A = this chain, B = another copy of it.
Amino acid sequence: MSSMNIPQSSFPRVIIIGGGFGGIALAKKLAKKDVQVVLLDKHNYHNFQPLLYQVSTGGLEPDSIAYPIRKVLQGYPNFYFRLAEVLEVDTSMRRLQTNIGEIQYDYLVVATGSRTNFFGNKNIAEKGMAMKTIPQSLNLRSLILENFEQALLTDDLHERDALMNFVIVGGGPTGVELAGALAEIKKGILPKDYPDLDTRRAQINLVQGGSRILPAMSAVASTKAERFLERLGVNVWKGIRVTDYDGKLVSTNTDTSFEACTLVWAAGVQAVCLDGLDSKDFLCRGNRLRVNEFHQVDGFEEIFAIGDVAQMESEPYPHGHPMMAQPAIQQGQNLGENLVRMIEGKDLKPFIYRDKGSMATVGRNKAVVDLPRFKFQGVFAWFVWMFVHLYFLIGFRNRVVVFINWVYNYIRFDREARLIIRPFKKQYQVNGKDKVTI
């Protein structure tokens, strides 16, 4: 029946699409219960998105912020993982089409997360860099280093400046954290690595369409983060929208333009929806699926959505919860409990989001933290930021390796993973094999 070699079971089958924060939290809740859990993901690992910017900037290795999905749920007899891409949902037959065959579900949970949204701007999508996945983050790492190597070679000062300049579009946590990390590299590493280049000329521009950076945080966090960034030498531009990019010239909706060979687009995400599950009845702005307080997609009893892809409209979140790890984790946990209750014929518990606060780091000893009861910034905030990120990282080995790297980077003002493992500009790969010419 199923080409995926997943046995029929007397337990109902729950298929979870996506092994992000939400999918993993849900799978863990269900793994010991009387359900068959099938988790599908097109990667064999869970990745810790909040630290991707440190992979891009050479502070961490990708392997230490990724964790094999099979390992998370090792030893649970009713758990099945399959490396698969879902092609279509047939809601009437309760069946998925995937690149490895068909499979039936009793309950379906969409936890597909989100991807970069270029808002239809093809030039930016083609020439700009996204930073939502590990391969994308490694591509950005390669590009940054390749640009500096290339800057060394040109006598054209304009071109050299462009190769050393950065434009980061989007003043949310990703943009702020990346800008801060680049500023620290500019100060601590570039002058030593490139003594024959005037790296002081490198400009790091953070461009934010709205009136303040970190708009989802408190006003004091925004102000303080901006001050931190400026102290690090980042140019913060507010009320400006990037409109076009040709690989070098960054145009905006104002007179301001930038010459930069590296543009990172962190100005928007959209949920990843699935064919067959994209009716206008429940598809909201940014492709999110409208769900009720039990995570049920509008019109379905047995189809759920959690995390970035779910839009649960509630106060004070009329357009759904923020697209962050916390709502996804809490939703996964709540849905796990509810699915068991549903199967046992019990009443469901509506989801109540517990806002644990939000935070962003700008650089060493510089972070901003908004907790529900109080807000703080600076050194202590930075330690809290580190502790929280280590805590939520999956895997003991990952925590130790990340911690060692942070201690080392802190003491040495260094980031040693500045390696061009797979060149981005100049692909040595031919048909997946390495063309070795030296």
Contacts and interface: CB of A to CB of B under 8 A. Distances in A.
Interface string A387-427: 00000000111101100110010001010111111101101
B86 A41 contact: no
A272 interface: yes
Interface string A133-155: 11110110000011001001111
A425 B100 CA distance: 14
A127 B438 CA distance: 22
Given A152-B5, A408-B400, A429-B135, A272 B44 contact: no
Contact of A419 (B44, B139, B193, B414): B44
Interface residues of A, number: 83
A61 to B, nearest CB: 4
Contacts of A433: 126, 139
Chain copies in the assembled complex: 2
Contacts of A414: 71, 397
A4 interface: yes
A41 to B, nearest CB: 7
Contacts of A17: 438
A66 B421 contact: yes
A417 B436 CA distance: 25
A255 interface: no
A7 B434 CA distance: 33
Interface of A: 3-5, 7, 17-18, 41-45, 61-64, 66-68, 70-71, 74-75, 77, 80, 82-83, 85-86, 100-101, 112, 115, 126, 130, 132-136, 138-139, 145-146, 149, 152-155, 192-196, 272, 395-398, 400-401, 404-405, 408, 412, 414, 416-422, 424-425, 427-429, 432-434, 436-438
